A and B are shown apart, each in its own frame.
Chain A
């Protein structure tokens, strides 16, 4: 129990220090943009493939059920709503928890083991500002963009899925998919994507920054970053859904 409260205090302090350093006038813009590139661009192919397949599979699986009710025309809107409100953000966040979270955990963990973080500190560079703030805020900024990208490709996958056994032109598909979508379908999803990014960034950085001194701890940091970030993404999603439900 004592360890649990120590961990909670340590994480709280870490989050507090990150925000405090982020507000410092010496923001490391160059490193921040580099991390945005690392988080965003390098995750793009994986997110693209997953997003597209998500839309395609959802369409192929749902079509027979809707056909039974003669509601095939509802399919584009159903898939678009599912993707935008829930599946896009959550699946993208889970993939990023694996790719970005583990990457941050392993990179910072190995920097800790090889004393690179100590070397940085002695060079009068604040490692929290240079390493943590830039990575966390890159994840917070890039995740919603990745989610929107996954949504777009998922909807494209849906259109392809419908054309495998049917024939629907893109303009008609587009109007069916987005005709009944409202601003409030997008907003909660985008907002919770920022939180997903924060969770992934904070967990990955915390686990790496607090890795032990041995090489084994690098693997442990990467592994626990993925597990913890994935779990917290689901927890944040549950909370976000409840809040959205109350507000709408």
Chain B
């Protein structure tokens, strides 16, 4: 058994935290996902690859119910998302962090207020001292300890992504969904973000789905990779499987 195969087997022996089955969604007459299946196992970083418009971002938005699928099943921690009640959805979302492509920081709030915003609502048991300690902890973890009183407009693109990540991890989610975390960043900052994603996985013991086109990022963070084409799962494997594939579509993607 190769190293890649043993990694795959080990992952499949752990529990699936997200199970997607036969997921279909279309916008008007345009089908985007056409019966997609995937599993996210506990503690893994699953990278989702595919051409622009192939439905990668749509997939993770369906998982958190920002978009409703036409048919199929999405189970998060065993709970079916497609017919979940409003209160159950709010509860479940507390365990899911979502890093948006732009960071999606609230423009009218300082970095501190951005970080406190989800914390005060999700972790209501914390007092002011604990909230401040948590803010300082996540800022230190993303390497930006002195930015608490800055406005988002005063931050660079890379800093916004780091603060976005800090806001995501501050509530200790069990699942992280990254929507193109390194897009628009220079190679050095991209690598820093990729390393940070690995550090977050290690420290917070998260399971993650990472949508990206950045092959360097894929190499750094991926435990397992799936590729979507024509709205269905095209290939699944490790980084090694993809880089050694003879399939013209995959090799053109990786070269």
Contacts and interface: CB of A to CB of B under 8 A. Distances in A.
Interface of A: 107, 110-111, 114-116, 118-125
Contacts of A116: 104-107
B239 interface: no
A116 B118 CA distance: 13
Contacts of B106: 111, 116, 119-120
Nearest to B171: A123
A115 B117 contact: no
A44 B137 CA distance: 42
Interface residues of B, number: 23
A123 B102 contact: no
Interface string B122-142: 100000000000000000000
A125 B107 contact: no
- Prevailing SS type, chain A contact patch: helix
Interface string B86-124: 000011011011101110111110000000011001100
Contacts of B117: 123, 125
Contacts of A122: 64, 66, 93, 96-98
B140 to A, nearest CB: 21
Contacts of B101: 115
Given A110-B107, A119-B106, A123-B171, 20 more contacts: A111-B106, A115-B100, A115-B102, A116-B104, A116-B106, A118-B61, A118-B100, A118-B104, A119-B104, A121-B93, A122-B66, A122-B93, A122-B96, A122-B97, A123-B117, A123-B118, A123-B121, A124-B90, A124-B94, A125-B117
Most B CB within 10 A of own CB, among A110, A118, A119:
A119
B121 A125 contact: yes
A224 B105 CA distance: 26
A242 to B, nearest CB: 41
A124 B93 contact: yes
In the A-B complex, the 8 residue pairs with the smallest Cβ-Cβ separation, listed nearest first, are A123-B118, A119-B104, A115-B104, A124-B90, A115-B100, A122-B98, A124-B93, A116-B104
Nearest to B64: A122
Interface in B50-99: 61, 64, 66, 90-91, 93-94, 96-98
Nearest to B117: A123
A124 B104 contact: no
Given A116-B106, A116-B107, A121 B118 contact: no
Contacts of A107: 108
B122 A123 contact: yes
A116 B122 CA distance: 17
